[in-house]
Amino acid sequence: MSNHTSISMFLLWEFSEVRELQILYFFLFLALYLTAITGNLFIIAAVALNRHLHTPMYFFLTNLAMMDVGSVSVIIPKSMANAIMNSRSISYSGCVAQVFFFFFFVASDLSLLTVMAHDRYVAICNPLQYETIMNKGACIQMAAIGWISSMLYSMLHTCGTFANTFCSNAVNQFFCEIPSLLKLSCSDFYFLVEVGFLMLSCILALGCFVFIIITYLQIFSTVLRIPSVHGQKKALSTCLPHLIVVSVLIFNAVFAYAKPPTKSSSELDIAFAVMYAIIPPMLNPFIYSIRNREIKIALWKLLDFGHSSKTTFRLL
Protein backbone atom coordinates (compact mmCIF):
# COMPACT_ATOMS: atom_id res chain seq x y z
CA MET A 1 0.00 0.00 0.00
CA SER A 2 1.64 3.20 -1.21
CA ASN A 3 0.00 5.64 1.19
CA HIS A 4 -2.62 6.00 3.88
CA THR A 5 -5.32 7.15 1.44
CA SER A 6 -5.39 3.66 -0.13
CA ILE A 7 -6.14 2.05 3.24
CA SER A 8 -9.86 1.73 3.88
CA MET A 9 -9.50 -0.44 6.99
CA PHE A 10 -7.01 -1.79 9.48
CA LEU A 11 -6.62 -5.37 10.71
CA LEU A 12 -6.35 -5.63 14.49
CA TRP A 13 -4.43 -8.29 16.39
CA GLU A 14 -6.25 -11.62 16.48
CA PHE A 15 -6.46 -13.18 19.92
CA SER A 16 -6.75 -16.70 18.55
CA GLU A 17 -7.71 -18.64 15.43
CA VAL A 18 -9.49 -21.23 17.58
CA ARG A 19 -13.21 -20.49 17.67
CA GLU A 20 -13.67 -21.67 21.26
CA LEU A 21 -10.91 -19.34 22.46
CA GLN A 22 -12.45 -16.44 20.54
CA ILE A 23 -15.72 -17.00 22.38
CA LEU A 24 -13.79 -17.23 25.66
CA TYR A 25 -12.11 -13.89 24.95
CA PHE A 26 -15.53 -12.40 24.15
CA PHE A 27 -16.94 -13.38 27.55
CA LEU A 28 -13.76 -12.28 29.32
CA PHE A 29 -13.96 -8.82 27.76
CA LEU A 30 -17.71 -8.73 28.40
CA ALA A 31 -17.10 -9.40 32.11
CA LEU A 32 -14.43 -6.67 32.28
CA TYR A 33 -16.63 -4.22 30.40
CA LEU A 34 -19.75 -4.83 32.49
CA THR A 35 -17.71 -4.54 35.70
CA ALA A 36 -16.20 -1.21 34.61
CA ILE A 37 -19.48 0.22 33.32
CA THR A 38 -21.57 -0.93 36.30
CA GLY A 39 -19.10 0.33 38.90
CA ASN A 40 -18.71 3.76 37.33
CA LEU A 41 -22.45 4.18 36.67
CA PHE A 42 -23.13 3.35 40.33
CA ILE A 43 -20.71 6.09 41.37
CA ILE A 44 -22.37 8.60 39.01
CA ALA A 45 -25.89 7.67 40.19
CA ALA A 46 -24.92 7.67 43.89
CA VAL A 47 -23.43 11.17 43.67
CA ALA A 48 -26.24 12.56 41.49
CA LEU A 49 -29.03 11.30 43.77
CA ASN A 50 -27.42 12.25 47.10
CA ARG A 51 -27.43 15.97 47.85
CA HIS A 52 -24.84 15.53 50.60
CA LEU A 53 -22.34 14.53 47.88
CA HIS A 54 -22.87 17.66 45.76
CA THR A 55 -19.42 18.96 46.69
CA PRO A 56 -16.35 19.73 44.55
CA MET A 57 -14.63 16.45 45.42
CA TYR A 58 -17.56 14.34 44.24
CA PHE A 59 -18.17 16.61 41.25
CA PHE A 60 -14.70 15.74 40.00
CA LEU A 61 -15.20 12.08 40.95
CA THR A 62 -18.36 11.98 38.82
CA ASN A 63 -16.47 13.48 35.90
CA LEU A 64 -13.72 10.89 36.38
CA ALA A 65 -16.31 8.10 36.32
CA MET A 66 -17.79 9.47 33.08
CA MET A 67 -14.33 9.59 31.48
CA ASP A 68 -13.71 5.99 32.59
CA VAL A 69 -17.00 4.87 31.02
CA GLY A 70 -15.96 6.58 27.81
CA SER A 71 -12.43 5.13 27.68
CA VAL A 72 -13.55 1.50 28.05
CA SER A 73 -16.48 2.01 25.67
CA VAL A 74 -14.13 3.21 22.93
CA ILE A 75 -12.10 0.00 22.73
CA ILE A 76 -13.83 -2.98 24.37
CA PRO A 77 -17.09 -3.23 22.36
CA LYS A 78 -15.19 -3.33 19.06
CA SER A 79 -12.86 -6.04 20.39
CA MET A 80 -15.87 -8.02 21.60
CA ALA A 81 -17.61 -7.66 18.23
CA ASN A 82 -14.51 -8.82 16.37
CA ALA A 83 -14.10 -11.81 18.68
CA ILE A 84 -17.70 -13.00 18.35
CA MET A 85 -17.83 -12.35 14.59
CA ASN A 86 -14.42 -13.95 13.91
CA SER A 87 -13.15 -10.71 12.41
CA ARG A 88 -10.09 -8.47 12.73
CA SER A 89 -11.17 -5.42 10.76
CA ILE A 90 -11.80 -1.86 11.84
CA SER A 91 -12.57 0.92 9.35
CA TYR A 92 -10.06 3.72 8.77
CA SER A 93 -12.47 6.30 10.22
CA GLY A 94 -13.23 3.94 13.11
CA CYS A 95 -9.52 3.68 13.87
CA VAL A 96 -9.14 7.47 13.77
CA ALA A 97 -12.11 7.87 16.13
CA GLN A 98 -10.73 5.21 18.48
CA VAL A 99 -7.34 6.94 18.73
CA PHE A 100 -8.88 10.38 19.24
CA PHE A 101 -11.46 9.47 21.87
CA PHE A 102 -9.21 7.08 23.78
CA PHE A 103 -6.50 9.72 24.12
CA PHE A 104 -9.12 12.33 25.01
CA PHE A 105 -10.61 10.22 27.82
CA VAL A 106 -7.23 9.12 29.23
CA ALA A 107 -5.83 12.68 29.14
CA SER A 108 -9.03 13.94 30.80
CA ASP A 109 -8.57 11.29 33.50
CA LEU A 110 -5.08 12.54 34.27
CA SER A 111 -6.12 16.20 34.26
CA LEU A 112 -9.05 15.46 36.60
CA LEU A 113 -6.81 13.50 38.97
CA THR A 114 -4.45 16.49 39.06
CA VAL A 115 -7.33 18.88 39.83
CA MET A 116 -8.61 16.49 42.51
CA ALA A 117 -5.21 16.63 44.21
CA HIS A 118 -5.52 20.44 44.30
CA ASP A 119 -9.04 20.09 45.71
CA ARG A 120 -7.79 17.86 48.55
CA TYR A 121 -4.94 20.29 49.23
CA VAL A 122 -7.32 23.24 49.63
CA ALA A 123 -9.77 21.20 51.73
CA ILE A 124 -7.11 20.05 54.21
CA CYS A 125 -4.51 22.83 54.17
CA ASN A 126 -6.87 25.82 53.75
CA PRO A 127 -10.23 24.58 55.08
CA LEU A 128 -11.51 28.08 55.99
CA GLN A 129 -11.10 29.27 52.38
CA TYR A 130 -12.29 26.03 50.76
CA GLU A 131 -15.78 27.21 49.80
CA THR A 132 -14.38 30.47 48.43
CA ILE A 133 -11.61 28.88 46.35
CA MET A 134 -13.44 25.75 45.23
CA ASN A 135 -16.77 27.37 44.39
CA LYS A 136 -19.11 25.97 41.75
CA GLY A 137 -17.86 28.28 39.01
CA ALA A 138 -14.22 27.49 39.73
CA CYS A 139 -14.89 23.74 39.67
CA ILE A 140 -16.68 23.92 36.32
CA GLN A 141 -13.91 26.12 34.93
CA MET A 142 -11.16 23.72 36.04
CA ALA A 143 -13.02 20.72 34.62
CA ALA A 144 -13.64 22.58 31.34
CA ILE A 145 -9.97 23.54 31.03
CA GLY A 146 -9.07 19.88 31.52
CA TRP A 147 -11.54 18.77 28.82
CA ILE A 148 -10.43 21.41 26.31
CA SER A 149 -6.70 20.81 26.84
CA SER A 150 -7.27 17.04 26.58
CA MET A 151 -9.17 17.52 23.33
CA LEU A 152 -6.37 19.63 21.86
CA TYR A 153 -3.80 17.10 23.06
CA SER A 154 -5.79 14.28 21.50
CA MET A 155 -6.16 16.18 18.22
CA LEU A 156 -2.40 16.73 18.12
CA HIS A 157 -1.65 13.03 18.55
CA THR A 158 -4.37 11.89 16.15
CA CYS A 159 -3.42 14.30 13.36
CA GLY A 160 0.28 13.56 13.82
CA THR A 161 -0.32 9.82 13.63
CA PHE A 162 -2.61 9.70 10.61
CA ALA A 163 -0.55 12.25 8.68
CA ASN A 164 1.94 9.38 8.26
CA THR A 165 1.93 7.12 5.22
CA PHE A 166 1.28 3.46 6.05
CA CYS A 167 2.93 0.51 4.33
CA SER A 168 0.68 -2.04 6.01
CA ASN A 169 -2.73 -2.19 7.63
CA ALA A 170 -2.00 -4.99 10.14
CA VAL A 171 -2.01 -3.45 13.64
CA ASN A 172 -0.24 -5.60 16.24
CA GLN A 173 -2.64 -4.63 19.03
CA PHE A 174 -6.28 -5.38 19.89
CA PHE A 175 -7.21 -1.70 19.40
CA CYS A 176 -5.84 1.25 17.42
CA GLU A 177 -2.92 2.28 19.59
CA ILE A 178 -0.57 5.04 18.41
CA PRO A 179 2.77 3.20 18.91
CA SER A 180 1.39 0.17 17.02
CA LEU A 181 0.14 2.40 14.19
CA LEU A 182 3.45 4.25 13.91
CA LYS A 183 5.21 0.93 13.36
CA LEU A 184 3.27 0.67 10.09
CA SER A 185 4.67 3.95 8.78
CA CYS A 186 6.61 3.94 5.51
CA SER A 187 8.77 6.81 6.74
CA ASP A 188 12.32 6.08 7.88
CA PHE A 189 11.80 8.59 10.66
CA TYR A 190 8.85 6.86 12.33
CA PHE A 191 11.00 5.89 15.32
CA LEU A 192 11.77 9.59 15.78
CA VAL A 193 8.06 10.41 15.59
CA GLU A 194 7.25 7.64 18.06
CA VAL A 195 9.93 8.83 20.48
CA GLY A 196 8.64 12.41 20.11
CA PHE A 197 5.08 11.34 20.98
CA LEU A 198 6.36 9.23 23.86
CA MET A 199 8.49 12.07 25.24
CA LEU A 200 5.60 14.56 25.04
CA SER A 201 3.26 12.16 26.83
CA CYS A 202 5.88 11.30 29.46
CA ILE A 203 6.69 14.97 30.13
CA LEU A 204 3.01 15.86 30.59
CA ALA A 205 2.30 12.78 32.71
CA LEU A 206 5.45 13.30 34.78
CA GLY A 207 4.56 16.97 35.32
CA CYS A 208 1.10 16.02 36.60
CA PHE A 209 2.54 13.23 38.75
CA VAL A 210 5.19 15.51 40.31
CA PHE A 211 2.52 18.13 41.04
CA ILE A 212 0.35 15.47 42.72
CA ILE A 213 3.28 14.13 44.78
CA ILE A 214 4.32 17.61 45.96
CA THR A 215 0.70 18.40 46.80
CA TYR A 216 0.35 15.24 48.85
CA LEU A 217 3.60 15.85 50.71
CA GLN A 218 2.12 19.16 51.83
CA ILE A 219 -1.17 17.45 52.68
CA PHE A 220 0.51 14.73 54.78
CA SER A 221 2.59 17.39 56.54
CA THR A 222 -0.62 19.19 57.50
CA VAL A 223 -2.41 15.97 58.49
CA LEU A 224 0.40 15.01 60.89
CA ARG A 225 -0.13 18.29 62.72
CA ILE A 226 -3.82 17.53 63.34
CA PRO A 227 -4.09 16.76 67.08
CA SER A 228 -7.03 14.37 66.78
CA VAL A 229 -6.34 10.82 65.58
CA HIS A 230 -9.92 10.66 64.28
CA GLY A 231 -9.30 13.85 62.30
CA GLN A 232 -6.13 12.38 60.80
CA LYS A 233 -7.95 9.20 59.74
CA LYS A 234 -10.82 11.18 58.23
CA ALA A 235 -8.44 13.36 56.21
CA LEU A 236 -6.42 10.39 54.99
CA SER A 237 -9.56 8.44 54.05
CA THR A 238 -10.34 11.03 51.36
CA CYS A 239 -6.74 11.18 50.11
CA LEU A 240 -5.53 7.58 49.94
CA PRO A 241 -8.06 6.35 47.31
CA HIS A 242 -7.11 9.23 45.03
CA LEU A 243 -3.39 8.52 45.46
CA ILE A 244 -3.93 4.82 44.73
CA VAL A 245 -5.90 5.63 41.54
CA VAL A 246 -3.13 7.97 40.34
CA SER A 247 -0.47 5.34 41.05
CA VAL A 248 -2.38 2.60 39.20
CA LEU A 249 -2.83 4.81 36.11
CA ILE A 250 0.75 6.13 35.99
CA PHE A 251 2.58 2.90 36.74
CA ASN A 252 0.50 0.86 34.30
CA ALA A 253 1.25 3.39 31.54
CA VAL A 254 4.96 3.33 32.44
CA PHE A 255 5.08 -0.47 32.29
CA ALA A 256 3.31 -0.38 28.92
CA TYR A 257 5.47 2.25 27.21
CA ALA A 258 8.81 2.41 29.03
CA LYS A 259 10.32 -0.34 26.94
CA PRO A 260 12.22 -0.38 23.64
CA PRO A 261 9.87 -0.34 20.60
CA THR A 262 9.71 -3.55 18.60
CA LYS A 263 8.33 -4.35 15.17
CA SER A 264 6.22 -7.27 16.32
CA SER A 265 3.69 -7.60 19.08
CA SER A 266 3.57 -10.22 21.78
CA GLU A 267 1.20 -11.55 24.40
CA LEU A 268 3.09 -9.41 26.92
CA ASP A 269 2.31 -6.23 24.93
CA ILE A 270 -1.36 -7.22 24.83
CA ALA A 271 -1.35 -7.86 28.58
CA PHE A 272 0.24 -4.46 29.25
CA ALA A 273 -2.36 -2.79 26.99
CA VAL A 274 -5.17 -4.44 28.96
CA MET A 275 -3.52 -3.32 32.22
CA TYR A 276 -3.35 0.37 31.36
CA ALA A 277 -6.44 0.68 29.13
CA ILE A 278 -9.02 -1.46 30.96
CA ILE A 279 -7.90 -2.26 34.51
CA PRO A 280 -7.71 1.35 35.93
CA PRO A 281 -11.25 2.35 34.80
CA MET A 282 -12.52 -0.94 36.20
CA LEU A 283 -10.76 -0.59 39.57
CA ASN A 284 -11.42 3.12 40.21
CA PRO A 285 -15.01 2.75 41.52
CA PHE A 286 -13.95 -0.02 43.92
CA ILE A 287 -10.93 1.93 45.18
CA TYR A 288 -13.04 5.02 45.90
CA SER A 289 -15.89 3.11 47.52
CA ILE A 290 -13.78 0.83 49.76
CA ARG A 291 -12.17 3.63 51.81
CA ASN A 292 -14.84 6.31 51.47
CA ARG A 293 -17.62 6.08 54.05
CA GLU A 294 -19.82 8.69 52.34
CA ILE A 295 -19.72 6.82 49.02
CA LYS A 296 -20.52 3.56 50.82
CA ILE A 297 -23.59 5.13 52.47
CA ALA A 298 -24.74 6.66 49.17
CA LEU A 299 -24.35 3.34 47.36
CA TRP A 300 -26.28 1.46 50.07
CA LYS A 301 -29.06 4.04 49.87
CA LEU A 302 -29.12 3.70 46.09
CA LEU A 303 -29.34 -0.10 46.27
CA ASP A 304 -31.92 0.06 49.07
CA PHE A 305 -33.98 2.52 47.00
CA GLY A 306 -33.92 0.13 44.06
CA HIS A 307 -34.96 -2.76 46.31
CA SER A 308 -37.74 -0.69 47.93
CA SER A 309 -39.05 0.45 44.55
CA LYS A 310 -39.14 -3.14 43.31
CA THR A 311 -41.00 -4.26 46.45
CA THR A 312 -43.53 -1.42 46.10
CA PHE A 313 -44.09 -2.28 42.45
CA ARG A 314 -44.79 -5.92 43.35
CA LEU A 315 -47.26 -4.89 46.07
CA LEU A 316 -49.10 -2.67 43.60
Judging by DSSP bridges, how do beta strands 89-91 and 9-11 pair with one another? Answer: antiparallel
Beta bridge partners of 9: 91
The pLDDT assigned to 46 comes to 87
DSSP 107-132: HHHHHHHHHHHHHHHHHHHSGGGHHH
How far from 51 is each of 58, 130, 292, 299, 305, CA to CA, in Å?
Answer: 11, 18, 16, 13, 15
The pLDDT assigned to 284 comes to 85
**Predicted structure pTM score:** 0.85
CATH superfamily of 4-315: Rhodopsin 7-helix transmembrane proteins (1.20.1070.10)
Is the pLDDT assigned to residue 315 strictly greater than 60? no
The pLDDT assigned to 280 comes to 86
How far from 223 is each of 125, 126, 236, 289, 316, CA to CA, in Å?
Answer: 8, 12, 8, 22, 52
The pLDDT assigned to 230 comes to 75
DSSP state of 50: -
State how far the Cα of 176 lies from the Cα of 157, in Å rounded to an integer: 13
Q: What is the pLDDT of residues 217-268, one digit of tens each?
A: 888 888 888 777 777 777 777 777 778 888 777 777 766 666 555 555 567 7
How far from 63 is each of 38, 143, 147, 263, CA to CA, in Å?
Answer: 15, 8, 10, 37
- Specify the higher pLDDT residue, 189 or 98: 98
Break the chain into its structural domains and give their ranges: 4-315
- Specify the higher pLDDT residue, 35 or 298: 35
Q: What is the pLDDT of residues 132-184, one digit of tens each?
A: 899 999 999 999 999 999 999 898 888 888 887 888 888 888 899 888 888 88
Please state which of the ranges 29-33, 137-141, 268-272, 307-311 shows the lowest mean pLDDT. Answer: 307-311
The pLDDT assigned to 6 comes to 65
